[in-house]
């Protein structure tokens, strides 16, 4: 099939590349000419595992890029909308771009089209899309609308698309459902996973993928409800971690006990400095706004948001507790993206923490494996922060090291070398990347989230240094 995808952000670009990967011809449309030119050259604008591989395989063959909506939809029976829906001042999702795209589609339609929304939108959006298309001259029998929410995690978006937990199709008529089943058939029958050149499946991949067929309104709520629940799990375990610190309990042991219950599970029970990114913060606000508009006060979501924001302030208190005063301190920061595996700094708790430290008079030396370019733009002009090419360079002569994103690279650092680089062997870990025993033996004063403070084993550190010498 030939399909069009409007929008070349995380969702649209990954969807276009993956649809080409499973055998379709995909046209990705965006009004950003510079971005389209870069994609035509094979330069992805985002850091995403396996995305460069897919661009190399399919670009110019079954994967095309254009700024022309008319060119993109002319031969495409299915048009996926994957444009931003940022929060408004009231917290509602701003669907004005979705509406604008639908108006443009209406003016260019030359036959039946299925308009499918992948953007995260409020329940009832599909009904509005139908009204917009009809108000712009499209007869009801010439189109249908459906919801096909995405559940992609940044950093693993390609494998999430190709080996999904579920494929949700929100369709209010049989024709739309059948068309979308055809699109995803290689994932639904397992034929893609069995193909010779398939992207490697994660260890816990569900093959073939599970299909969930719902109404469009239910599909829209599934997306918002899923993100709100995951954000709630993160805030819940962070709140428990704070109680652990007050009682000298160890959050890792508590998580092991809670997560072993199959009704709960361990996923997203990872304490830290809070969630961020482009989805959870805005989707939480949008879901609460939907509830409010329907006359229900979903106060639980406000508490989830409050706990998340409080987690950053508690981490700053932890830094002050380790260093006493912050003014004039030189701090090494590892991790600027909102999580490991991505270059996305939107709503990054790391960025917020660094900004707070700069306001308190700290000098920051920072490193991130992927987010340096975006972070530099965020902090310009600022003379109190500089960026390095390695974690060891960042640590050189620093009063303390802060870990703010859970990159695998950080977990694999040579701790002896790291300790030698630092002025003082102090590590404040906002992501619990290291074990307490590991840091004790390596000779660090180690502060983490939800676990007791760890003092260094001086004897082990001396023996280790002597052996290295």
Whether the CA torsion 111, 116, 117, 118 is positive or negative: it is: negative
Q: How confident is the model at residue 466 (pLDDT cuts 50, 70, 90)?
A: low
Question: Given this model, what pLDDT does residue 177 score?
Answer: 97
Question: Given this model, what pLDDT does residue 337 score?
Answer: 97
Pure H helices in 380-444: 391-395, 408-411, 415-421, 436-441
State how far the Cα of 282 lies from the Cα of 227, in Å rounded to an integer. 10
Q: What share of the chain is helix, strand, coil (3-state, %, to 5)?
A: 45, 15, 40
Residues annotated as part of the active site: 279
State how far the Cα of 336 lies from the Cα of 372, in Å rounded to an integer. 8
Pure H helices in 189-215: 191-194
> What DSSP letter does each residue of 127-156 carry, written as one string?
HHHHHHHHHTT--GGGEEEEE----PPTTS
Distances (CA, A) of 123 to 186, 225, 252, 345, 456: 29, 11, 38, 28, 54
pLDDT tops 60 at residue 465: no
Question: Is the distance from CB of 143 to CB of 114 less than 8 angstroms?
Answer: yes
Mean pLDDT of 216-228: 95
Find, among 364, 356, 376, the residue nearest to 328 by Cα.
Answer: 364
State how far the Cα of 10 lies from the Cα of 157, in Å rounded to an integer. 8
CA 276 distance to own-chain centroid: 8
pLDDT tops 80 at residue 461: no
Mean pLDDT of 355-365: 96
Question: Given this model, what pLDDT does residue 464 score?
Answer: 54
Task: For residue range 22-81, list pLDDT tens digits in order.
Answer: 999 999 999 999 999 999 999 999 999 999 999 999 999 999 999 999 999 988 999 999
CA within 13 Å, CB half, 81: 27
In the beta sheet, which residues pair with residue 67?
none
Task: For residue range 380-420, list pLDDT tens digits in order.
Answer: 887 899 999 999 999 999 999 999 999 999 999 999 999 99
- Please confirm whether the linkage preceding 381 is cis (ω < 30° from 0): yes
Mean pLDDT of 354-365: 96
Cβ neighbours of residue 96 under 8 Å, at least 6 residues apart?
Answer: none
Task: For residue range 176-206, list pLDDT tens digits in order.
Answer: 999 999 999 999 999 999 999 999 999 989 9
Cβ neighbours of residue 267 under 8 Å, at least 6 residues apart?
Answer: 233, 259
Q: How confident is the model at residue 428 (pLDDT cuts 50, 70, 90)?
A: very high
Question: Is the distance from CB of 403 to CB of 427 less than 8 angstroms?
Answer: yes
Mean pLDDT of 316-345: 96
Cβ neighbours of residue 30 under 8 Å, at least 6 residues apart?
Answer: 6, 7, 8, 12, 36, 65, 67
3-class DSSP assignment, residue 212 = strand
Q: How confident is the model at residue 307 (pLDDT cuts 50, 70, 90)?
A: very high
> What DSSP letter does each residue of 40-79 carry, written as one string?
HTT--SS--TTHHHHHHHHBTTTEEEES-HHHHHTT-SEE
Mean pLDDT of 97-114: 94
Question: Given this model, what pLDDT does residue 1 score?
Answer: 92
Question: Given this model, what pLDDT does residue 405 score?
Answer: 97
- Strands 445-447, 426-429: pairing is parallel
State how far the Cα of 424 lies from the Cα of 446, in Å rounded to an integer. 11
Question: Given this model, what pLDDT does residue 467 score?
Answer: 53
Q: Annotate 212-238 with b (16+ C-beta within 10 A) or e (fewer).
A: eebebbebbbbbbebbbebbbbbbbbb
Question: Given this model, what pLDDT does residue 42 score?
Answer: 93
pLDDT tops 80 at residue 279: yes
Question: Given this model, what pLDDT does residue 158 score?
Answer: 98
Mean pLDDT of 132-148: 95
Q: Which domains does the chain have, with CATH numbers?
A: 2-214 (3.40.50.720), 215-469 (3.40.50.720)
Q: How confident is the model at residue 462 (pLDDT cuts 50, 70, 90)?
A: low
Distances (CA, A) of 373 to 39, 192, 344, 378, 379: 18, 35, 10, 9, 10
CA within 13 Å, CB half, 458: 0
pLDDT tops 80 at residue 463: no
- Beta carbons within 10 angstroms of residue 402's beta carbon: 29
Question: Given this model, what pLDDT does residue 78 score?
Answer: 97
Structure tokens at 264: 């709960």
């Amino acid at each position: 099939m030939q399909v069009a995808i409007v929008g070349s952000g995380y969702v649209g670009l990954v969807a276009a590349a993956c649809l080409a990967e499973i055998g379709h011809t995909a046209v990705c449309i965006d009004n950003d000419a510079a971005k389209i030119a870069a994609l035509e050259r094979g330069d992805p604008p985002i850091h995403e595992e396996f995305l460069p591989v897919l661009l190399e395989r399919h670009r110019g063959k079954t994967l095309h890029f254009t700024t022309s909506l008319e060119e993109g939809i002319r031969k495409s029976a299915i048009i996926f909308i994957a444009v931003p829906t940022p929060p408004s001042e009231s917290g509602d999702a701003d669907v004005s771009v979705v509406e604008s795209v639908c108006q443009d589609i209406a003016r260019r339609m030359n036959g039946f089209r299925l308009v499918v929304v992948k953007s995260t939108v409020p329940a009832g959006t599909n009904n509005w899309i139908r009204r917009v298309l009809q108000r712009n001259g499209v007869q009801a029998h010439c189109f249908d609308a459906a919801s096909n929410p995405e559940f992609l995690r940044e950093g693993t978006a390609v494998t999430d698309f190709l080996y999904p937990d579920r494929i949700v199709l929100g369709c209010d008529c049989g024709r739309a459902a059948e068309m979308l089943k055809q699109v995803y058939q290689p994932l639904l029958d397992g034929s893609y996973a069995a193909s010779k050149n398939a992207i490697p499946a994660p260890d816990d991949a569900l093959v073939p993928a599970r299909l969930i067929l719902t109404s469009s309104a239910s599909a829209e709520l599934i997306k918002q409800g899923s993100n709100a629940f995951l954000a709630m799990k993160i805030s819940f375990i962070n709140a428990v971690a704070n109680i652990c610190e007050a009682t000298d309990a160890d959050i890792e042991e508590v998580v092991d006990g809670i997560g072993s219950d199959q009704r709960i599970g361990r996923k997203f029970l990872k304490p830290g400095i809070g969630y961020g990114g482009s989805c959870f913060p805005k989707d939480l606000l949008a879901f609460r706004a939907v509830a409010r508009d329907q006359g229900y006060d979903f106060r639980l979501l406000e508490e989830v948001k409050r706990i998340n924001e409080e987690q950053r302030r508690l981490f700053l208190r932890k830094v002050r507790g380790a260093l006493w005063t912050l003014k004039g301190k030189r701090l090494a920061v590892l991790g600027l993206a909102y999580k490991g595996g991505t270059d996305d700094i939107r709503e990054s708790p790391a960025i917020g923490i660094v900004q707070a430290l700069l306001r308190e008079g700290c000098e920051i030396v920072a490193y991130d494996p992927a987010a340096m370019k975006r972070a530099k733009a965020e902090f310009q002009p600022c003379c109190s922060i500089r960026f390095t090419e390695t974690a060891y360079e960042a640590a050189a002569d620093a009063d303390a090291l802060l870990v703010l994103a859970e990159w695998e690279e950080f977990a694999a650092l040579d701790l002896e070398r790291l300790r030698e680089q630092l002025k003082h062997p102090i590590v404040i870990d906002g992501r619990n990347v290291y074990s307490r025993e590991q840091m004790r033996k390596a000779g660090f004063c180690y502060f983490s989230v939800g676990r007791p403070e760890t003092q260094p084993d001086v004897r082990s550190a001396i023996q280790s240094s002597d052996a290295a010498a």
